[in-house]
Amino acid sequence: MALHKGAGDDRRLTVGPFLGTAADPLGSMELAPPLHRLADGPVPADTAYQLIHDELMLDGNARLNLATFVSTSMEDQATRLMTECLDKNMIDKDEYPQTAELERRCVAILAHLWHAPDPDTAVGCSTTGSSEACMLAGLALKRRWIRRNADRYAAGARPNLVMGVNVQVCWEKFCVFWEVEARTAPMDGERFHLGPEQAVALCDENTIGVVGVLGSTFDGSYEPVAEICAALDDLQQRTGLDVPVHVDGASGGMIAPFLDEHLVWDFRLPRVASVNTSGHKYGLVYPGVGWALWRDREALPEELVFKVNYLGGEMPTFALNFSRPGAEVIAQYYVFLRLGRAGFRAVQGACREVAGYLAEGIERLGGFRLLTRGDQLPVFAFTTTDEVPFDVFDVSRRLRERGWQVPAYTFPANREDLAVLRVVCRNGFSRDLADLLLGDLARLLPELRRQPVPLKDLGVPARTGFHH
């Protein structure tokens, strides 16, 4: 494939003369569909495929992408099921009742996994990802607060939400979209997430809830949800303020139940009103699917549930999106059915083992300091030591030359001075690949050590990247 350059937006795609199934060199050479407007007529299906396929070769290799939390591999059987379900609309539960049933089974499985008081009455739904799930959870918290403070809200009281500065950007979006004050606790020293003291200090009578993150995207660490709940229990005893907690378990919600069974973070804590997770992260499903669950029906205000009766039967819906694919929900049920508890324990345990192995290997190379070691989420962050003449951005740039995508970024408020590299170990990232990464890093270090100073000091722009 070649790109034919024209003036302005009149650029066109062209294919080589021997590509395609028609064996018509002249015909292939004459094809030149425009890039930014519709062509006057169609092109052959094989040609359209080849044009797009060739361009997509420029994307990075997903298996070498250590930036993303999102699943990059599934079994062929799961992919086949998803292909068979591409045309199913998740919202149309009357037309696709068995797809709806599999969604209900997934909610029940998660309710059991997260110790809902009565899994049969726990309320939940699939979403397009954790961002939508968090929006729904935040809306439920706000509506519950409005119910309890109707007069004050009508008089102009502004609700607020308490969280650490390390939360995923969806929480910032929620606060902007739904006019809630975001109260964020900054990082401090070697504390990179929300602690109980910081949470309580930010709460007042207008607080709709506290967000606890089970697995920070900045460094892979768990926030102390049980300690935060205990501090809020004490706050209620002292002041009467009853502040609920939402647990953003986008990643840790599918790690802790299998590898940290002793850790109490979920519905076993009475103050936890809702939990979300990303099925497309450590739920081991391709994007995009998430899950939102509430402790019981009281935790999800009825006014957020809408009745839809024009799809063949009256169906309740409380997701933000309407039409969306059912294939990912089917794939989630496949993974649950396929693995069971023992299978999940093995898969997630292997990810954590590789993360620990890789973190130790990087530390032994010298020139780096570990912030975390992958012993909570299979994720760790590290930075360069003071004596080396390179920084994390130089390392990320050089690793990209070998195909590795390892993001380098600066921490937020109060720790803007700290820049790190972060590695996410997912299913499919094996110990063998970890050894290859260590080998490449070891070969690059002598060249990096010969630099006079970090390249940004010479005017080379630092390439930053932060991927949730």
Topology at the third CATH level for domain 76-336: Aspartate Aminotransferase; domain 2 (3.40.640)
Question: Where do the domains of the chain lie?
Answer: 2-56, 76-336, 345-458
Residue 110 has pLDDT above 90, yes or no: yes
- Which pLDDT score, from 0 to 100, does residue 304 have? 80
Strands 306-308 vs 290-294: parallel, antiparallel or unpaired: unpaired
Element (H, E) at 169: helix 169-177
- Which pLDDT score, from 0 to 100, does residue 26 have? 53
- Which pLDDT score, from 0 to 100, does residue 91 have? 72
Q: Does domain 345-458 have CATH number 3.10.129.10?
A: no
- Enter the tokens of residue 21: 């199934």
**For residues 167 and 284, what is the distance between their CA atoms, to the nearest angstrom?**
22
- Which pLDDT score, from 0 to 100, does residue 467 have? 47
The tens digit of pLDDT for each residue in 21-51 reads: 555 555 555 667 888 999 888 888 888 888 8
- Between 317 and 349, where is the model more confident? 349
Residue 1 has pLDDT above 50, yes or no: no
**What are the residue ranges of helices labelled H in 216-372?**
225-239, 256-259, 327-365
Contact assessment for residue 377 and residue 450, using Cβ atoms and an 8 Å cutoff = no
Residues in the chain: 468
- Which pLDDT score, from 0 to 100, does residue 95 have? 76
- Between 272 and 315, where is the model more confident? 272
For the question of whether the overall pTM of this predicted structure is more than 0.85, the answer is yes
**For residues 456 and 436, what is the distance between their CA atoms, to the nearest angstrom?**
27
- Which pLDDT score, from 0 to 100, does residue 28 have? 55
Judged by average pLDDT, the poorest of 91-105, 135-149, 331-345 is 91-105
Residue 18 has pLDDT above 80, yes or no: no
The tens digit of pLDDT for each residue in 431-459 reads: 999 999 999 999 999 999 999 988 776 76
Band (16; pLDDT cuts 50, 70, 90): low
- Between 43 and 407, where is the model more confident? 407
Mean pLDDT of 304-312: 62
Residue 249 has pLDDT above 80, yes or no: yes
Residue 186 has pLDDT above 70, yes or no: yes
Judged by average pLDDT, the poorest of 32-46, 83-97, 399-413, 420-434 is 83-97
Residue 465 has pLDDT above 70, yes or no: no
Mean pLDDT of 235-252: 97
Burial tier of 24 (Cβ tally within 10 Å: 0-12, 13-18, 19+): middle
- Enter the tokens of residue 189: 């020293």
Residue 109 has pLDDT above 50, yes or no: yes
- Which pLDDT score, from 0 to 100, does residue 39 have? 87
Element (H, E) at 27: helix 25-30
